[in-house]
Amino acid sequence: AQKVTQAQTEISVVEKEDVTLDCVYETRDTTYYLFWYKQPPSGELVFLIRRNSFDEQNEISGRYSWNFQKSTSSFNFTITASQVVDSAVYFCALSEAGDDKIIFGKGTRLHILP
């Protein structure tokens, strides 16, 4: 069975600090996809990244970086030099190959304090 765990319910950091959001997943498939989404106060979920299970290379996009480690079934997300606009709920998610469903974690609410 698929499962995504985001143990951090809520995090507050001061602007310009770095912050890491944790994500641990469970799946029996060897081929799967991992996602991160951002949900700002406006409500829509914004796609940030997709990783497939065969690509463990870490990715950096501006201030965002992702650390995928199959050995620990983790796909953590780091925001460097956080900004107030990064305040949102962030969701980690998983989809197994051949499946058109994405299973979401409960989300981590991130507050960036000015």
Partner 1 sequence: ETGVTQTPRHLVMGMTNKKSLKCEQHLGHNAMYWYKQSAKKPLELMFVYNFKEQTENNSVPSRFSPECPNSSHLFLHLHTLQPEDSALYLCASSQALTLTDGYTFGSGTRLTVV
Which residue, 42 or 57, has its beta carbon nearer to partner 1? 42
Q: Which stretch binds partner 1 (CB under 8 A): 18-26, 58-66, 73-81, 89-97?
A: 89-97
Which residue, 9 or 71, has its beta carbon nearer to partner 1? 9
Exposure string over 90-104, b if 16+ CB within 10 A, otherwise e: bbbbbbbeeeeebbe
3-state SS assignment for residue 72: helix
CA dist 114 and 8 (Å) reads 21
Q: Which stretch binds partner 1 (CB under 8 A): 22-30, 31-39, 60-68, 80-88?
A: 31-39
